[in-house]
Structure 1
Amino acid sequence: MLDTATVDVVADLRELGFGRFEGRTRSELSTGEDAASFDRWLRPQRGFPPAPNGETWQDAAERAGRVLDRVRESGERTLVVSHGYLLKIALAGYVDGGAVDDVRNTHLPNAVPVFLAPASAGRWRRTAPARHPEGAAAARRMPG
Structure 2
Amino acid sequence: MDVDQSTDALTRVPELPFPDGNLIIQAGSRLFRVYGGFLAARSPIFQGMLSLSQPADAETMEGCPVVKLPDDAEDVTVFLRAIFDSSFFENYPVKTDLCTVVSILRLSNKYAVEYLRRRALVHMESYFSTTLVDFRDNKGSLIRDL
The normalised TM-score by structure 1 is 0.28
Greater C-alpha Rg: 2
**Greater percentage in strand:** 2
TM-score, normalising length: structure 2: 0.28
